[in-house]
Chain A
Amino acid sequence: MIGKLLSTDLLKMRRTGIWWVVFIGPVGLAAMQALNFGLRYDYLVQDRYASDPWAGLIGETGMFVPIAIYLAMTLLMAMIANIENRQNAWKQTLALPVRRSQVFASKFLACLIQLLVACVLLAASVAIVGLVLKFEGPVPIIDLLTLGAYPMLASLPMLGLMLWMTLTLRNQAIPISLGIAASLVSVFGASMPEIVPLAWPAVVLANGEAALRYSGFGIALFAVLYLLGSIHFSRKDVA
C-alpha cells in the first residue's frame, strides 16, 4: 500500500516545480563554488588549499550546506503539503481506503527521496567543478557523498517538525516562517553549543569523528517528532 501511495504522491507532484527545487539547490551551491574558486584560483588552489584542493572545495561548499538543507526541508514540505491543502483535497485523499499513518509515511518518503536525490546531485556537481578546475588526485567520492548526507541526517529533526506542522496545520505561514528562521540561525551553527539541534549539521561537517554520532542524534530526535506527528495526523479531524 505504501508503494501505491508513494506512486500517487509522485504523480501529484507533476508540474508543481518541486523537482526544480531539488535540482537548483545543489547545482546552485556548486555553481557558487565554481565562481569562488574560478575567481580566486591563484589564492585558493595554489596557496591556501595547495596541499589538498578537493578538501578545500568540499570545505568551502560545506559552509552553505546546513542552511541549504534547512531551506530545502522547509520549501519541499511546504510544496508537498500545498498539493493537498490548496483545494482541500485532504477530505478526498483520506476518505479513500488508506491508513492515515501510511499517507503520512508516504509524504515523508517523497520528501526523503527528494533530499537524497539532492545529495547525489550535490556530490556530482561539486565533482564536476573540481574536475573542470583540474584538481589533482582521485575524486574523493565518499567525502563528496557525505558532504550532503551527514548534515542531512543531522538536520532530520527539522524534517520531522516540518512534516508534522505542514501536514496538520491549516495556516502554512507558521511552519514556513519557522523553517526560514531556523535556516538563518543555522548559519551560526558552528558557534552554538553542541546540544542545540540546529548546530548539529555544522558539527558533523566540522568534526569528521563526531559525524556518525550526531547523525545518530538527528535520527533519534527525528524518530520522536515523526511519531508524534504521525499520531496527531492520524487522529485529527479533517475539515
Chain B
Amino acid sequence: MNEMMIETRNLTKKYKGTRAVDALNLAIPRGEIYGFLGPNGAGKTTTIRMLLGLIRPSSGVVQIFGQDLKRDRIKILRRVGSLVEYPSYYGHLNAVENLETIRRILNVPKTRIDEVLHTVGLTKDAKRHVKGYSLGMKQRLGIAAALLGSPELLILDEPTNGLDPSGILEIRELIKKMPQEQGITVLVSSHLLSEIEQMASSVGIVNQGKMIFQDSISNLQRKAGSEIHIALSDAEAAMITVREQGCFARLDQGKLIFKGIDDGQIARLVSALVDARHSIYRVEERRKSLEDLFLTMTSGASGSASEIAAIGSGAPRGAGLRKEVAQ
C-alpha cells in the first residue's frame, strides 16, 4: 500500500458545542495532488490549521509522514510548506526581506529566495514594499514563502483566492508540476469543484465538518452518472404506459426523466410509447455534471449520508468510504 503523507483519525474540532470539523479521516498518499473540497464554512481551514499545529484538535489524531504531529511537530513542520487562508506578510518589508525572516529560521541558502521569487514571478517587484502589492502578488509571495524550505508536503488553503484568470492558470500549472518534477505531495483546498477537477488527482469533499466523499477524481466523475430524458407530446398520459412497462420516471417540464435504465429497457419503452400514439420529440442522455453532484452532496442542512446514498445508487455510500476504512 502507498505510503501516507497525511493521515487523520477522527479529527474533531468543537467550537462552543458545534463541530467545525467532525470525526474527519483524511488519507493522502505520497505524490498526490489532493483536492480538499467543500462549501464555505465546511471546515477546510479549520482542518488545515489542525494539520499545522496552529490549533489543537478537540479529539482525534494527526499523523504526517507517519509521525505523530503532537510529538514531532517541529520535525514535521520543517518538511511542510503552507499557506493558510489569506496571505500573511510584513507590509513594511520588501519581498526579499519577508522571505529572509523565514529563511533564517529554515536555514536554507540565500539563493533559495531568488529561486522561489522567480518561480512565482515576483523577481521584478522583489525590492518593493509588500504593502503596495496587489492581492494576487501577496498571494504569490505567500506561495513563495511556502516553497522556500523545499518542502516534501505543501498545504495550500485556497491558493488562487484573489488571483485573476491568468494568475489562476499559472498557479494551477505550478501546482500540477510539483509531484512530477519535485516529488512534492500537495494538499490544496478550494470551494470550487472546477478548480479541483483541473489539478487534483484525488479529492476529499467535506460538508459541515464531515467527510462525505474521498476517492480519486475519476471515481468521482464515474459517480456523477447519467439520466435519460424523453420529450414527448403528452408526458402525463405517458406515465401510465411507463408504469405498465415496469419502469419509473420523474416528470419534469413535459419530459420523462429516467435514472439507471439500460439500453433494452429504453428500446422497449420507446416502442410501447409509439404504440400508445405518443409523438416522441427527443430521447437524450444527460450526464449529470460534477457541479450538480457536488451541489447535491453538499446542499441541505440534514444528513448528507442519505443523499450520497441516493446519488451512488447501486453502490450505497460509495466505494470511497469503503476505501477510507481499508486505509
Contact = CB atoms under 8 A, between A and B. Distances in A.
A89 B74 CA distance: 18
A134 interface: no
A51 interface: no
A37 to B, nearest CB: 39
A86 B91 contact: yes
B54 A95 contact: yes
A87 B105 contact: no
Contacts of A90: 88
Given A8-B105, A97-B78, A98-B74, A237 B54 contact: yes
A19 to B, nearest CB: 13
B105 A98 contact: yes
Given A235-B56, A238-B54, A87 B84 contact: no
Contacts of A95: 52-54, 77, 80, 82, 84
How extensive is the interface on chain A, given as a class?
20 to 34
A94 B54 contact: yes
Given A92-B88, A238-B49, A97 B56 contact: no
B105 A4 contact: yes
Nearest to A238: B54
Contacts of A86: 91
A83 B91 CA distance: 9
Given A91-B85, A94-B53, A235-B56, 19 more contacts: A4-B105, A7-B104, A8-B101, A8-B104, A14-B97, A16-B92, A86-B91, A87-B90, A88-B86, A88-B88, A89-B88, A89-B89, A91-B52, A91-B54, A93-B88, A95-B77, A97-B77, A97-B106, A238-B55
Interface string A195-239: 000000000000000000000000000000000000000010110
Interface in A143-185: none
B104 A91 contact: no
Contacts of B106: 96-97
A7 B102 CA distance: 11
Interface in B28-51: 49
Contacts of B199: none
Nearest to A92: B88
Contact of A92 (B53, B93, B107, B145): B145
B114 interface: no
Instruction: Identify the 6 closest CB pairs spanning chains A and B, nearest first.
Output: A92-B88, A237-B55, A97-B78, A97-B77, A238-B54, A89-B88
A5 interface: yes
B88 A11 contact: no
A11 B98 CA distance: 9
B151 to A, nearest CB: 11
A92 B107 CA distance: 16
B100 interface: yes
Interface in B65-114: 73-78, 80, 82, 84-93, 97, 100-102, 104-107
Nearest to A98: B105
B104 A11 contact: yes
Contacts of A99: 74
A238 B87 CA distance: 15
Given A96-B77, A237-B55, A14 B93 contact: yes
A24 B296 CA distance: 64
A98 B101 CA distance: 13
A12 interface: yes
A100 to B, nearest CB: 9
11 contacts: A4-B107, A7-B104, A11-B93, A14-B92, A89-B88, A91-B49, A91-B54, A91-B84, A92-B102, A95-B54, A99-B74
